A and B are shown apart, each in its own frame.
Chain A
């Protein structure tokens, strides 16, 4: 700093302007707003909020994992040894519908049990049964034989094979995907006999009560029939004015169409209750990978990671939504800053 610069500074300081007394009195007469006790500067706030949000996200994921790992695995596709031979008993003893009962048997026990017990699902109520089995066979020869045998079992029990998809893409490996339909009363026998085709890797049985649905449909049909009969009776009256007759004819046509739809739907319901669906996958060892069995910790971590991924997805989505707004705000801020610079540099 030169001597002249110091002189300039000294002069500026020595002759600095002082606020007029009027201004001083005006300013000091004002009263401040009450002090807010707790506050954090934005940077510190961010330093607190971000780790806290991260901590909450991880904790939520762990809690989710912990809760989910406690669920009995039989409720899902991947069963465990503990569920082997589980039986659904008296599943439809109450009038309350319904319900889908599911029982699974998984990989862990499949290597020990050649033919696990099939759950006994007996009820006088109309219900739809849906079963799926994965069966492992030794090689493609056994696969071919098992596929043929599976269709024979269905036929012998009064059912049929709806579709057969037989694939042997690699040497020594292959799989057959078979959709079977068997009478509902024979589903247990069918599963038992199909289980004998090889080693069961997994099985799932799902029973859905259709009784209430059937009752609803029957009630609607009865009501529509009564309406059709009433409309016909009304139309038989020769004294009916033409305009009203046309109106009633339209209503009759609508009621008949609705009746036909309900009848068709009820037929479908009865058919679904009468026939059980069995999805069968027969495959060689490499074609059917056994379901990995996880311990409680493994399941918990798996669920937690899944939950974290979901959280990350939500965060990413929010970021995508917010980023254009943030960009616009940044541009506005930049523009305002530039305009201030221009304003103050104009001498």
Chain B
């Protein structure tokens, strides 16, 4: 799981602060993927990605490469933006007297992802999907992912194992 991160994940090697345009170009897909997995809604993920980068633009002067990679920093911003979105969605659904389980997840998580895996991802909670996104798709290491999620590394690993096991079980069911 500790796969090599992109060059922007290793600020120490860069020896300074990267240019924002480079960071945005490099990390856009990562942030978008994370938000697709977290929200389960591509349209929302698109808006939230744009909002994340807007926030990042405004607070770029506060970014300190010594404290973490740009990807980790952007994911933290994206998570905060997504949580606001979840809250707003919950309120909206309450107003409309609908429940969270009724949320339509008609969109695909991945481009051309096999149907069973797609279904399995839909069955996961947003918290499980986001850890999968951070560790598998974005290839963040354990401490960085835990920092984004605001939990311990152990809790992060446990959550990831549980999520992957559920996905695996679902795939096994389909194979059988």
Which A residues are closer than 8 A to B by beta carbons?
Answer: 1-2, 4-5, 7-9, 11-13, 15-20, 23-24, 26-28, 30-36, 39, 41, 337, 340-341, 343-347
The reply to whether the CB of B58 lies closer than 8 angstroms to some CB of chain A is: yes
Q: How many A-B residue pairs have CB under 8 A?
A: 128
Residue of chain B at shortest CB distance from A336: B83
Complex Cα distance, B108 from A2, in Å, reads 25
Contacts of A16 in B (CB 8 A): 29, 33, 110-111, 137
Q: Are B24 and A28 in contact (CB under 8 A)?
A: yes
The reply to whether the CB of B94 lies closer than 8 angstroms to some CB of chain A is: no
The reply to whether the CB of B92 lies closer than 8 angstroms to some CB of chain A is: no
Contacts of A36 in B (CB 8 A): 61-62
The reply to whether the CB of B125 lies closer than 8 angstroms to some CB of chain A is: yes
Contacts of A32 in B (CB 8 A): 20-21, 56-57, 60-61
Q: Are B29 and A18 in contact (CB under 8 A)?
A: yes
Q: Are A35 and B61 in contact (CB under 8 A)?
A: yes
Contacts of B130 in A (CB 8 A): 344
Contacts of A23 in B (CB 8 A): 28, 32, 46, 49-50
Contacts of B110 in A (CB 8 A): 12, 15-17
The reply to whether the CB of B150 lies closer than 8 angstroms to some CB of chain A is: yes
The reply to whether the CB of B97 lies closer than 8 angstroms to some CB of chain A is: no
Residue of chain B at shortest CB distance from A24: B28
Excluding A16-B110, A18-B29, A345-B125, 19 further A-B contacts by CB distance (< 8 Å) are A4-B168, A11-B114, A12-B110, A12-B117, A13-B136, A15-B110, A16-B29, A16-B33, A17-B33, A19-B49, A27-B28, A27-B49, A27-B50, A27-B53, A30-B57, A33-B57, A33-B58, A35-B17, A347-B126
Q: Are B36 and A17 in contact (CB under 8 A)?
A: yes
Q: Are B49 and A15 in contact (CB under 8 A)?
A: no
- Between A and B, 13 residue pairs with Cβ closer than 8 Å are A8-B168, A9-B136, A11-B117, A16-B33, A16-B110, A23-B49, A34-B61, A39-B61, A39-B62, A41-B64, A41-B67, A347-B101, A347-B124
Contacts of A39 in B (CB 8 A): 61-62, 64
Instruction: Name the residue in A24, A343, A344, A345 with the highest tally of chain B Cβ atoms < 10 Å from its Cβ.
Output: A344
One digit per residue, 1 when the CB lies within 8 angstroms of any chain A CB and 0 when it does not, for chain B 91-109 equals 0000000001100000011
Which B residues are closer than 8 A to A by beta carbons?
Answer: 1, 17, 20-21, 24-25, 28-29, 32-33, 36, 38, 42, 46, 49-50, 53-54, 56-62, 64, 66-67, 83, 86-87, 90, 100-101, 108-114, 117, 123-128, 130, 132, 136-137, 150, 164-165, 167-168, 171-172
Do most interface residues of chain B lie in helix, strand or loop, or is the interface mixed? helix
Complex Cα distance, B59 from A9, in Å, reads 33
Known: A27-B49, A345-B125. A11 touches B150 (CB 8 A): no
Q: Are A11 and B49 in contact (CB under 8 A)?
A: no
Q: Are B29 and A19 in contact (CB under 8 A)?
A: yes
Contacts of A15 in B (CB 8 A): 110-114
Known: A30-B53, A345-B127. A2 touches B66 (CB 8 A): no
